[in-house]
Amino acid sequence: EDQVTQSPEALRLQEGESSSLNCSYTVSGLRGLFWYRQDPGKGPEFLFTLYSAGEEKEKERLKATLTKKESFLHITAPKPEDSATYLCAVQAASNYQLIWGAGTKLIIKP
């Protein structure tokens, strides 16, 4: 069964304290892995798409990496405005639908 698991459920960091969020997946043929950021009461905001193991993408303080079993979202020197829920989703080769993880709620304290 295709499945996406995100960890931790919640993460509290001090401003400037770097860390990583994990997205583990099992899927029968990966078409793509997606990272989104969601603020309370808003729709998800697209961050990255990764297609194959070894691929990396960066945007400001965020860097996403992908292996055959998991993806990491590294956040470097975070700021309070990086506080949000980060969602991971995968698209299987057999189905265009996105399989979603439960998300990681990130809180950055000033």
Partner 1 sequence: GAVVSQHPSWVICKSGTSVKIECRSLDFQATTMFWYRQFPKQSLMLMATSNEGSKATYEQGVEKDKFLINHASLTLSTLTVTSAHPEDSSFYICSASSSSGGTQETQYFGPGTRLLVL
Q: Does 54 contact partner 1 by CB under 8 A?
A: no
Which range in 13-21, 64-72, 73-81, 93-101 contacts partner 1 by CB under 8 A? 93-101
What are the distances in angstroms from CA 18 to CA 12, 59, 82, 102, 104?
11, 15, 12, 22, 15
Check binding of 78 to partner 1 (CB under 8 A): no
Q: Which is nearer to partner 1, 43 or 110 (CB)?
A: 43
Adjacent-strand bridge partners of 66: 71
Residue 37: closest CA among 17, 54, 61, 14: 61
Q: 92 φ, ψ to 5°?
A: -80, 155
- From the list 15-23, 30-38, 64-72, 74-82, the region that binds partner 1 by CB under 8 A is 30-38
* 100 contacts partner 1 (rule: CB under 8 A): yes
Smallest distance, Å, CB 18 to partner 1? 26
Q: Locate 48 and state its tokens.
A: 């990255």
